[in-house]
Amino acid sequence: MPYTPEDLKLIAARTLAHYNQNAHEFWEGTRDHDVSQNINAMLEHIKEPAALDLLDFGCGPGRDLMKFKELGHKVTGLEGSTQLAALARKHSGCEVLEQNFLHLDLPSARFDGVFANAVLFHIPSQALPGVLKALHCTLKPGGVLFCSNPHGEGQEVWNGDRYGAFYDLQSWANYVTSAGFEALTHYYRPPGLPREQQPWLASVWRKVAC
């Protein structure tokens, strides 16, 4: 049964409340995670030679903003949680937009790359096409989208107070290609482990149409 607009509003509010209430614990628990494989996977597919204009979508408390800035890129964060956005600004010194993912207001054709690490799975599948279209439109022609999500078999469930939707590769590809992207590469994480011990599906996409 489709969600009503009020259902979607409540899903977002409950998930964001969790992150607001646990913002400092989330920072301490994730600040040392090594996602260099994901960062490199996006950057190597962007053809611009100079410093890039990047959007860290769902930037959390700012770990990856700090890394992109260290690499010499101009990076903007976007975060739905007020508390995480405040931490991201404090830690990175970057501009951080505070927007609900279900009501995005992004500039057109602004960014060379969008880095969506461990975030898009929080969006109900019903709302996902609209979010992907917004990310498509905010990319420059030929821009690159990176995504990493825990994979599954299409289930949409609550994990405590966090909503999650879990896709296999083909289902995920159907959503992203329908939004106007072409596939560049994908892989499972953490590297070097059997597939049953790799809960994360990472994928890289290029904007090909508007």
Alpha carbons 136 and 155: distance in angstroms, whole number? 25
pLDDT in tens, 115-134: 999 999 999 999 999 999 99
Alpha carbons 65 and 74: distance in angstroms, whole number? 9
Low-confidence ranges of the chain (pLDDT < 70): 209-210
Question: Given this model, what pLDDT does residue 134 score?
Answer: 98
Cis omega (within 30 of 0) for bond into 190? yes
Question: Given this model, what pLDDT does residue 48 score?
Answer: 80
Alpha carbons 66 and 89: distance in angstroms, whole number? 10
Alpha carbons 70 and 72: distance in angstroms, whole number? 5
| Region of residue 174 (left: phi > 0; alpha: psi -120 to 50; beta: else) | alpha
**Residues in Cβ contact with 26 at an 8 Å cutoff, skipping those fewer than 6 apart:** 19, 60, 61, 84
Question: Given this model, what pLDDT does residue 210 score?
Answer: 58
| Torsion (CA) 37, 42, 43, 49 in degrees, nearest 10 | 160
Question: Given this model, what pLDDT does residue 23 score?
Answer: 96
* Residue 119: alpha-carbon gap to chain centroid: 4
Q: Please report the domains of the chain, with CATH numbers, ordered by start residue.
A: 5-207 (3.40.50.150)
Q: What is the pTM of this model?
A: 0.96
Which of 135, 134, 160 minimizes the C-alpha distance to 147? 135
Question: Given this model, what pLDDT does residue 50 score?
Answer: 80
